[in-house]
Structure formats: C-alpha cells, structure tokens
Amino acid sequence: MSDNKGNYQADIHNTGYEQEYHEKLLDSAGLINTAGRETESLNGKWNFGVDLYDTCRRAHWYKDVQCNAAGNPMPLDYDWEAWDRITVPAVWNLERPELHYFEGSGVYTRTFRYVKQAAGERLFLRFEGASYETSVFLNGEFVGTHDGSSTPFNADISDLVKTENRIVVVADARRSPLRIPMENTDWFNYGGIYRDVYLIRLPKVFIKDWFVRLVPDGTFSKIRTDVLIDSNTVAGKVLIEIPELGIKQEAAVQNGKASIDISVTPNQLKLWSPDDPKLYDVSISFTLNGAGTADTVHDRIGFREIKASGHELFLNGKKIILRGICVHEDHYELGKTTNSDIIRATIRDLKEMNGNFFRLAHYPHDSRFAKIADEEGVLLWEEVPVYWAVAFDNPGAYKDAENQLSELILRDHNRASVIIWSVGNENADTDARNNFMSNLANKAHALDDSRLVSAACLINHIKLKIEDRLTDSLDVIGINEYYGWYDPDFDKLPKILVNSDPGKPVIITEFGGDARKGQRGSVDDLWTEDKQKRLFEQQIETIRKCPYIAGTTPWIFYDFRSPRRLNRYQEEFNRKGFIDADRKTKKSAFYVMQEYYKNISGK
Ligand code: GCB
C-alpha cells in the first residue's frame, strides 16, 4: 500500500491483488456428489476475452460498475456482449489458431435465467473441469476460486441468484513451479472451461454424498453405505434400497451422517467384473425427523473386491493379471475435451488389444470415463498430477495435491471400475517427496477402504534394482522403465527384475519408444515402427518371465501433443503411441501387444 493514499490506484499499484481471490476456495470440502442428479446445462456459446494482464481480476471488471457515484458513465475496458463467442466446453487452444499457445487468463461470460421451482430450493453451479485456476463471479459478486485443471468443483449460489443473471469466469492457465502439476510436463497445457458446466437445483437439506461398496473382507457378504447430508446438525433417517437384491434398510442420521452395513448372501449378489460388469440400481432417501422425504438420489453401482496379497492381485478372490495400457485424454481435434463416443471408442480399442485395464495418465480424466468403464467392464487406475519435480517442501503445493486427490476420490468412489488411486509419477526419492507422497497415500487410504493405492516409483540405476522408499506406503508398486529406448542398454532390464525383491505386486506402468506412423527402417533405426515393434517384443520376452509382475501398462495408447518434442519425427507430439494421434492408424507394435494379451488372457 502506498504511503500517500490519495494517489494510490489499486488496479495498477496493487501487486498482491490475487490474494482476495484465494480467500474463498471452491474445494473438496464443498464438493457435492452429482451422480444421477437432474442438471440444467450452461454449455454453449459464451462471450470470451483474452485477458493477458489479468485485468478482470485486478480492476474488478466483474462488478460491472457502469457509472460513478455521481451517475456519470465510466469508460469501460470490456464489453461483454460485443466480445466474440467461444464454445464451452472446449480448450481455447484448438478453438482459434491465435490461441494455440495462449497460457494466461481468459474471461468467459454469459447470462442465464432462473425461476425458482420449489420453496427453499437451493441452486448450485457446477464445473466438471477448467484450467487451471478458475475464479467465478455472479451478478457482480465473487463466488470463489478453484485450483487444479482436472477435478470438478461447485458453488452454492442460492443467495446470489436472481431471475436474470450474469456469470463471469476467469480461467487462468498459467503454469507455475508451485502448482500441481508444476510447470514442466510431457503433455500440452490446454486452457479454458473444457468440461461441462451446469446448474443443479437441490432441496434445502440434501444428500451431499454417498459411498456404497462391498466390504473387502473376503466374504463378499457385506455392503457398506456411508451417507453425508449437507448439514452437520440434522437428525433423521435414510432408506437404502437395492430392489434387485430385495434390500430396503433404514439407518439413523445423526449430525448429518449415517453409516450402515447390509448383509447379502454370496448367491444373492452378482459381483462386478470385466467379464460381467453387473450394476445395481441403488436409491437413497433422506427423511428429516418429523417431516417427509427431503431428498432422494439414484446411482448404478457395481460390487467387487480388489486385494493385493504377496506379489499378486485378486479381483473377487480370483487372481488377476492387469492387461493394461496408459492413455492420455488428449484428442487431436478436441484436446482435453472429450465425450461419450470418444470414451466408448477408446474402450473398444482396448478390447481389440485384448486388454482389461487403463492407466488414466497423468491427471483425472472426464468423469464419464469411469461411468462408462463401469458399464463396459474395464478396470481403471486413476491418478493425480503429482508429476516429476513438484515443490515437495511447499505446504501450498501439498494442500493443492491433497485437495485434487480428495476431489477425485469423492467424484469416483462409487465406480467399481476404479481399482487403484495413484498419488504420483516419477518423483525423485527425497525426504520432502517421501513425506508429501506418503501423506497423500495415507489420505487415499483414509478416504477409501475399497481400493489400492499406488504410484509410478523409481529404479536405482546404479544398483540395478527397484528401490524407492515410497513403496512402504503403497499397496502396489508402479515402475516406469525405458530400457531399449532412453537407456539403449536393454540388458539391464532382466538384471533389474532378477535383482529386485519388491514384496508387493508390481505393475510396469510405462515402457515403450517413439515411432512415427508409417516410418520404416531396420529394427535399429530410431523413430521407425520396426524399432518400436522390436522393442515391445524384447520387453514382453523379459517381463513375461518375472513372477512378481501383476500387470503392464505400456506407454501409450495414442500419440499426444507435447511441446517438448521438437524433432522432425515428433513435431510437437510424443510418438510413443500404439495408435497415431488420429486414433485410427495402428502401428505394428499394436499387434505385438494384442498377441501378448491374447496369450495371457486365455483367449
Ligand atoms: C515418462 C513419463 C511420461 C512421458 C514418458 C515419455 O516416464 O511418465 O509422462 O510422456 O516418460 O514418453 O518420455
């Protein structure tokens, strides 16, 4: 602040202007479960301005003050309705050529009408994903800010909403060493409101979350349900119904919470599995003491058990080998925006490869992925972008990571397809990192007792063995290795596998090499399909002999954009895909993996 208050002008002199936008966070504490809820879409065309200097937040444009105190019109630097219109949801980088490399603030605005339908109705605004830091304003008021590109957030706007409304959103896609992920990644930093935006009307007191799963005690006979009401003072009861199982059971709500175990006989319950992805209709109704039903939610839920024991993984008590593949969300035309057709096509491609498992790298993918995987019978690894050299000694970075992890778990904890939460990828084995990431692993275990926790860990390249202190906090060890590619000395891999005694199941979470589609040559020529094919043949030959490998997810399904890949074969794409970025043209290595998975699937 200036010494002379008379000549101080906040919008140009206040370098700490961002502070006020971090005082109200839209985070996991306020996240509501929206599965099965009726929604009103705000997708469509929004007015959009490139706000390179973040002036909307510096100069409070969103307050939309048209006149000064004396009633004289002010010269405004923005013009909502005259601005160009842009699609929501979409990444701005692929909407207009001049925005391809834009990484700053974009201001989105639109109007919407709202007419209350029921007395006491509450209105929530929900974003499924916007990059990276998103500040939301309604009718001139600051609603809150969300950190993180790939997890959902919502805001209760009941007290701000009118009949005619203007919403302003600043989506700031700047990279920073203090964020999750940090500024250096091997994928493209897309910006914008790139997933669905919608409104939800909820009753005055409503069911905020429900977590319904099979208790993993090996008996397949107990369904546990935790219900959270959006008020920690209410008492009443919930009724849980699973009609197909003849289940109709009540539980008391105290301090806004209810918890109940329901017994089922193993004959009664058909377990969910990739071979038979059985889902049940589940409904939960909440009744306030002395009143009628306040709220009812519906979901489709599968029941399964995933366990690690020794070096093996067991699904529903039977040993399972994860025949997987890593996949980025990146799409040639849509970037990180996706839709159900793309997700279903991705799953069809996996099945064609005889796979049963996806590692969704390296950040939470669209929520429809797990929903469709539940229906289609595909197992999933879901990950938060604690990637490479995060600021592990920074408490703000930890808070951000833990919040993104919590948002992911809250979003998907009823999805049977998700069997593993991953707390990060290839992070150097320092004390600060081990502390940070083991705290994340503990958090995942505390939030969810029905899944395994993992991370892509490290190999000691001198001792040639799997060695990473983080593995103590994990149920499953992920290992990325690029023998035959970044380290051309392939012979190290068999040595590492023999030297290691991990004591836990290991998934080789990455291996591979680049090939440009159609590029031909000898098996020793880099960037050719022939070299890539040979590399996978060698890898498979070695991996198949190792007793403790419980699964593989080679890198990667489709070529994807990466600004750090600038040679003539890459042209800003990581070309390690089994399939080109067109998501159609298969490279020779696809068929090598397909054959391997066919052999180990018993098909
Ligand atoms: C890795 C990273 C992944 C990269 C990949 C590569 O180890 O985990 O994000 O894209 O290697 O292609 O270098």
Q: Which residues contact 27 (CB under 8 A, 6 or more apart)?
A: 146, 147, 153, 403, 407
Residue range 70-105, pLDDT digits in tens: 999 999 999 999 999 999 999 999 999 999 999 999
Q: ω into residue 385 within 30 of 0, thus cis?
A: no
Q: What is the DSSP string of 456-475?
A: EE-EETTTTEE--GGGGG-S
The strand pair at 418-425 and 379-383 is best described as parallel
CA atoms 553, 559, 560, 564: torsion sign: positive
Distance 109 CA to ligand 1 centre (A): 37
Pocket mutation for ligand 1, best pick of 185, 186, 189 (most atoms within 8 Å of C-beta)? 186
pLDDT value at residue 529: 98
Distance 385 CA to ligand 1 centre (A): 13
Mean pLDDT of 588-596: 98
Is there a contact between 428 and 469 (Cβ–Cβ < 8 Å)?
A: no
Indicate whether residue 576 lines ligand 1 (CB < 6 A).
Answer: yes
263 bridge partner residues: 222
- AA letter at 223: I
Residue range 19-36, pLDDT digits in tens: 999 999 999 999 999 999
Q: Which residues contact 338 (CB under 8 A, 6 or more apart)?
A: 329, 331, 365, 366, 368, 369
Pocket mutation for ligand 1, best pick of 422, 485, 574 (most atoms within 8 Å of C-beta)? 574
Q: Which two tokens stand for residue 473?
A: 């906090």
Q: Is the pLDDT of residue 501 over 70?
A: yes
Q: Which two tokens stand for residue 204?
A: 């005055």
- C-beta neighbour count of 183 within 10 angstroms: 13
Where does the pLDDT of residue 3 fall: very low under 50, low under 70, confident under 90, or very high at 90 and above? Answer: low
- Work out the mean pLDDT of the chain and round it to a whole number: 97
Coil, strand or helix: which one is 293?
A: strand
Q: Which residues contact 411 (CB under 8 A, 6 or more apart)?
A: 31, 33, 151, 152, 364, 367
Where does the pLDDT of residue 603 fall: very low under 50, low under 70, confident under 90, or very high at 90 and above? Answer: low
Indicate whether residue 422 lines ligand 1 (CB < 6 A).
Answer: no
Distance 556 CA to ligand 1 centre (A): 9
Distance 105 CA to ligand 1 centre (A): 28
Residue range 186-226, pLDDT digits in tens: 999 999 999 999 999 999 999 999 999 999 999 999 999 99
What strand order describes the sheet that includes 222-229? 207-214, 222-229, 257-263
Q: Which two tokens stand for residue 128?
A: 């499924």
Using the structure block, give the residue that is written with the tokens 């250096």: 184
Residue range 389-400, pLDDT digits in tens: 999 999 999 999
Query: What is the share, in percent, of the chain residues with pLDDT greater than 70?
Result: 99
Residue range 259-298, pLDDT digits in tens: 999 999 988 999 999 999 999 999 999 999 888 889 999 9
**CA angle 350-355-361, nearest 5°?**
65
- AA letter at 19: Q
Mean pLDDT of 166-179: 97
Is there a contact between 64 and 138 (Cβ–Cβ < 8 Å)?
A: no
Query: What is the share, in percent, of the chain residues with pLDDT greater than 90?
Result: 96
Q: Is the pLDDT of residue 460 over 90?
A: yes
pLDDT value at residue 293: 80
Nearest partner of 322 among 378, 383, 384, judged by Cα: 378
Query: Which ranges of 234-366 does DSSP label H, i.e. alpha helix?
Result: 340-352
Exposed, middle or buried: residue 257 (CB in 10 Å: 0-12, 13-18, 19+)? middle
Q: Is the pLDDT of residue 2 over 80?
A: no
460 bridge partner residues: 465
Q: Is the pLDDT of residue 165 over 70?
A: yes
Distance 186 CA to ligand 1 centre (A): 6
Indicate whether residue 186 lines ligand 1 (CB < 6 A).
Answer: yes
Indicate whether residue 573 lines ligand 1 (CB < 6 A).
Answer: no
| Phi, psi (deg, nearest 5) at residue 120 | 75, 0
| Phi, psi (deg, nearest 5) at residue 28 | -60, -25
Indicate whether residue 426 lines ligand 1 (CB < 6 A).
Answer: yes
Q: Is the pLDDT of residue 139 over 90?
A: yes
Read off the pTM. Answer: 0.98
